[in-house]
């Protein structure tokens, strides 16, 4: 009887070694595990960036709330100093600090010029996690009483 031949002209033989060895399987599992760890780490970093961006966006909104809830224009007199507080009905763990520096106290040419730094802090489980701040220069002329105020006259 004539044996069937393959395209190369050699006799067709049955390979008794079908499948993968244990080392090949372990190597495949190792490669897949490493790839999975890299994907999980990349996703967690991406989620952390999203969370941080959300906090900064919230902080910008809270900076606006500081001025809305504690406006400088309604103070009887603007003087150098610091004030702080938290947000009524706002997210827990958020607070603010406003620092007012008087440049006129140091230099007469800058009389009535104030630097107002407003900072919003957020914390998680009692530990500060981040801060956003705005700095603005504010000129406040003396009124008739000799006080520096932005309060409208009534």
Q: What per-residue confidence (pLDDT) applies to 84?
A: 93
Residue 26 has pLDDT above 90, yes or no: yes
Measure the CA–CA gap between 15 and 26, rounded to whole angstroms. Answer: 23
User: Lowest-pLDDT range, 16-25, 46-55, 112-121?
Assistant: 16-25
- Residue 6: count other Cβ atoms within 10 Å of its Cβ: 9
Confidence label for 5 from pLDDT (cuts 50, 70 and 90)? low
**pLDDT category, 28, cuts 50, 70, 90?**
very high
Task: Output phi, psi for 103, to 5 deg.
Answer: -75, -20
Q: Tell me what percent of the residues of the chain surpass a pLDDT of 90.
A: 44
Q: How far is CA 85 from CA 4, 21, 34, 69, 93, in A?
A: 91, 67, 48, 10, 11
pLDDT in tens, 96-149: 999 999 988 777 778 889 999 999 999 877 777 889 999 999 998 888 778 888
> For the whole model, what pTM was predicted?
0.66
The pLDDT of residue 76 is 85
Separation in Å, CA 51 to CA 37, 54, 60: 21, 5, 14
> Residue 92 above 80 pLDDT?
yes
Range with the largest mean pLDDT of 5-9, 75-79, 99-103: 99-103
Q: Residues 12-17: what's their mean pLDDT? A: 59
Can you read off the two tokens belonging to residue 116? Answer: 């107002």
């Amino acid at each position: 009887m004539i044996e069937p031949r393959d395209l190369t002209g050699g006799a067709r033989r049955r390979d008794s070694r079908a499948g993968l060895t244990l080392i090949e399987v372990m190597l495949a599992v190792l490669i897949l595990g490493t790839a999975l760890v890299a994907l999980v780490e990349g996703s967690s970093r991406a989620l952390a960036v999203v969370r941080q961006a959300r906090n900064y966006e919230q902080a910008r909104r809270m900076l606006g709330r500081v001025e809305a809830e504690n406006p400088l224009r309604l103070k009887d007199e603007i003087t150098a100093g610091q004030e702080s507080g938290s947000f009524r009905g706002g997210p827990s763990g958020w607070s603010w600090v406003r620092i007012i520096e008087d440049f006129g106290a140091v230099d007469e040419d800058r009389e009535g010029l104030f630097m107002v730094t407003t900072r919003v802090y957020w914390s998680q489980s009692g530990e500060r996690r981040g801060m956003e701040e705005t700095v603005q220069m504010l000129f406040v002329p003396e009124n008739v009483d000799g006080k520096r105020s932005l309060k409208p006259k009534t």
